[in-house]
Amino acid sequence: MTNACLTFRDLTLGYGSHPAIHHLNGVVRKGSLTAVVGANGSGKSTLMKGIVGVLKPMEGAVVRMPGVRTAYLPQQSELDRSFPARVVDLVSLGLWPKRGMLGRYTKEDRESVSKALMAVGLGGFEKRPIDTLSGGQLQRTLFARVLLQDADLILLDEPFNAVDAKTVGDLIQLIKRWHGEERTIMVVVHDLDLVRQNFPETLLLARQPVAWGDTKETLRPENLLKARRFHEAWEENAPWCEPDAHDHGDDLAHDRHHHHDHAHGPDHHHDHGSGPRAA
Amino acid sequence: MEFFYGLFIAPFADFAFMQRALFGSLMLSLGACPVGVFLMLRRMSLSGDAMAHAILPGAAAGFLLYGLEILPMTIGGLIAGIIVALGAGAVSRFTIQREDASMAAFYLISLAVGVLMVSIRGSSVDLMHVLFGTVLALNNEALILIGGIVAVTLACLAIFWRALVAECLDPLFLRSVSRMGSPVHFIFLGLVVLNLVGGFQALGTLLSVGLMMLPAAAARFWTVRVEPMCVLAVLIGFASCIAGLLLSYHASLPSGPAIILSAGVVYFCSILFGTRGVLRARIVHHRHRTA
C-alpha cells in the first residue's frame, strides 16, 4: 500500500501480560480522518500511545510512513500546571520539531504562535500564566500547540473533554481544515453523533477491533451491540494467547487493506461478519 | 562613611581569606541557585537534601585515603553522588516506583556507608568538617574547582534550557517529539550532584544544599516566569553570601550557617512581602476588576 501512513502488523499492546489492544492489523491511509470509538478500557488511548511510541508493542509492530511528523495530544496530559510558564511558552513547545532544542525562535515563529492561538479563539492570551486558564482554555491551548507542530499525523485523544459546545464546533472546523490539508488524523471520541456528522471513517474498538471502515457501516447497531458486550475487566487467569488461537480480532480489521499473516480459511470472515467488507 | 566602610568593605578589603570566601561563595551561587530553581519546580526540593547526604561516603572515602584534601574528596563525592542519582533515577524511570521513594532508599544506604567509613577513622571532628565545611578556608585549588563547576553548570543550562523546561512543563509531550527526555533528566541530576560537591568544601555537604534551595524557594514568591526566577535566585544567593560572610566576620559566627541563615531571612521576608506572598494576597484581593 503506497499511501499508507500507518500500518499495524499483528499489533498487541498492553500492560503486564494483559493486552489492551489485541492483534490489530490494518492500515491508516494518508490523508484519512478516522474516529476511534469504544467503551472505557477498550484500548483507544493505548493504541494512541502505541502509535506515538511511548508504549512499546508486546507483539507485532506499528509501521509509520518514513519521515512522518507526529503530533500527539494525550488524554491525560502530564502537564504541570503549577509550572511558572505563560501560554506562549507552552504553545511554543510546538515549535520543537522545527527548531529543535537549540534553534532560535524567529519573529515569524512568534507570529505563528499568535496565529495558532487566534485559530483556537485564544487571541491575546499569550502572556497569561498557564495556572490561570480554565480546563477548556487549557485544552484549546494544547490544540494551538498541535497546530504549531505542523504534523503529518495528528493523534488526538479525547480532545473534546471539558470543552463547551461552541468550542467543540471550532475545534472540529480546525480538524476539518487539517483534513483538507491532506494530514492524517485519528481522534478518540465518545460522542457518536459527533462522529457520524464529522468523521468519514471510524475504528470501533473493544480490545479487538470490532469494525473499521466507513463510519456509517462501522457504527451500525449490531456492531455497537457487539462492542458493548465487551468485557472490560482483566482476568488474572485468562488463558495465554497462543499464536494460532487469536482467531477473532485481526480478521475484522480493515479488510480492504488486509495484511494477513495467518492461513485462515476463506469462510472465516463470515463467522465474524461485521468488517467493512462483510457488511 | 567611615563606619559604613568598616562595616561592609574593610573585612573584604583587608583580608585575603575573606576575599576568597566571597569570590568562592558568589561563584557557587551563580551555578547552584538556577539548579535549585529547577529542583524546586520539579518538586524535587528534598531530593537536593537527599543527594547532599548521598555524597558523604564518596567524600569520606577520599578523606580516609588522602586526608583533608579537596580533590580526592570532591571526586569521591562526585562518584558517590552520580551512582545514587543514576541509580535512583533509573529505578524510577524503569520501574513503577516513584523517584522520591527510590531516592530515599539510595541516599539512606549511601549515608549509612558514609557514616560507617568516617567512624572507622575515628574522631567526630572530622565528620563535622565534612558535614559543615568552612568557606573561610578556601584555597586556590578549591576556587578553581568551583569555577570549573560553575562554568560547566551554566553551559549545560544554556544548552539544555529548552529541553529542561519542556521536561518540567510537559514530559509526555517532550517524549512524543524528542528522545531528550531521559538524557536531560540525568544531565540535570548530574548538575545537582556537581553543584553540591562544589559547595561542600565551602559550606559542607549539608549546608551546600541550603544555598541551592533557599534562594530558589524565596524567588518563587516574586515572579511567575522561570527566567526571572533564576536571575532573582542568583541575586538572592549573592546577597545571602555577602550578608552571611559579614555576619560571620563581625559576630565571629561560623560562616556556613551564617550564609544559609541570611538566605533564610530573605526566604521569610519573601513569604510575607513577595508579590505572590501572604500579605499581598490578603490585602490586595479585597478589590476586584470587572473582567
CATH number of the domain bearing residue A231: 3.40.50.300
DSSP state of B5: I
Q: Is residue A279 part of a domain?
A: yes
Q: Is residue A127 part of a domain?
A: yes
Q: Do residue A64 and residue A186 come from a single domain? A: yes
- Inter-chain residue contact A78 with B163, CB threshold 8 Å: no
How close is the nearest chain A Cα to the Cα of B163, in Å? 6
Domain termination residue (choose one: A102, A119, A151): A151
Backbone angles phi, psi at A127, to 5 degrees: -90, 0
The pLDDT of residue B124 is 58
pLDDT digits (tens, 9 = 90+) for B69-95: 778 888 888 899 989 988 888 898 788
Report the mean per-residue pLDDT for chain B.
87
Q: Do residue A211 and residue A142 come from a single domain? A: no
Structural domain of A55: 1-68+153-279
Q: Do residue A120 and residue A248 come from a single domain? A: no
In the block, cell 530553581 appears at B37
Bridge partners for A15 per DSSP: A18
Task: Give me the residue from B160, B176, B220 closest to A70, CB to CB.
Answer: B176
Ramachandran category for residue B170: left, alpha or beta (phi over 0 → left; psi -120 to 50 → alpha): beta
Backbone angles phi, psi at A62, to 5 degrees: -105, 120
Within an 8 Å CB–CB cutoff, is residue B178 touching chain A? Answer: yes
Domain termination residue (choose one: A135, A151, A167): A151
- Inter-chain residue contact A101 with B224, CB threshold 8 Å: no
B14 burial type by CB count under 10 A (0-12 exposed, 13-18 middle, 19+ buried): exposed
Q: Is residue A74 part of a domain?
A: no
Within an 8 Å CB–CB cutoff, is residue B222 touching chain A? Answer: no
- Give the residue from chain A lying closest to B177, CA to CA: A97
Structural domains in chain B, sorted by start: 2-284 (1.10.3470.10)
Which long-range contacts does A102-109 make (Cβ < 8 Å, 24+ apart)? Answer: A102/B159, A102/B162
Within an 8 Å CB–CB cutoff, is residue B166 touching chain A? Answer: yes
- Inter-chain residue contact A72 with B176, CB threshold 8 Å: yes
The pLDDT of residue A264 is 41
Q: Is residue A192 part of a domain?
A: yes
Show the cell assigned to A101: 532544542
The pLDDT of residue A272 is 41
Low pLDDT (below 50) residues in chain A: 1, 245-279
Q: Do residue A114 and residue A20 come from a single domain? A: no
- Inter-chain residue contact A83 with B169, CB threshold 8 Å: yes
User: What contacts B125, CB < 8 A, 6 or more positions away?
Assistant: none
Q: What is the mean pLDDT of each run of 10 residues along chain B (291 residues)?
A: 82 86 92 94 87 85 78 87 88 85 90 83 64 73 90 95 92 85 89 88 79 94 92 96 92 88 95 86 72 76
Q: Do residue A203 and residue A103 come from a single domain? A: no
- Inter-chain residue contact A77 with B223, CB threshold 8 Å: no
How many angstroms separate the CA atoms of B153 and B149, rounded?
Answer: 6
Task: Give me the residue from A54, A97, A101 closest to B162, CB to CB.
Answer: A101
Q: Is residue A30 part of a domain?
A: yes
Using a CB-CB distance cutoff of 8 angstroms, which residues of chain A are in contact with residue B159? 101-102
Q: Do residue A111 and residue A165 come from a single domain? A: no
Q: Do residue A94 and residue A181 come from a single domain? A: no
Q: Do residue A19 and residue A128 come from a single domain? A: no
Domain termination residue (choose one: A133, A151, A169): A151
The pLDDT of residue A274 is 40
Q: Do residue A138 and residue A196 come from a single domain? A: no
Q: Do residue A85 and residue A52 come from a single domain? A: no
- Inter-chain residue contact B223 with A84, CB threshold 8 Å: yes
Task: Give me the residue from A53, A93, A102 closest to B166, CB to CB.
Answer: A93
Number of domains in chain A: 2
Q: Do residue A55 and residue A192 come from a single domain? A: yes
The pLDDT of residue A165 is 85
How close is the nearest chain B Cα to the Cα of A67, in Å? 13
Q: Do residue A136 and residue A203 come from a single domain? A: no
Q: Is residue A132 part of a domain?
A: yes
Task: Give me the residue from A83, A93, A102 closest to B173, CB to CB.
Answer: A93
Edge-first strand listing for the sheet containing A59-64: A18-29, A4-15, A59-64
- Inter-chain residue contact A96 with B226, CB threshold 8 Å: no
Query: What's this model's pTM, rounded to 2 decimal places?
Result: 0.82
Q: Is residue A73 part of a domain?
A: no
Backbone angles phi, psi at A215, to 5 degrees: -55, -45
pLDDT digits (tens, 9 = 90+) for A34-60: 999 988 888 888 899 999 888 888 888
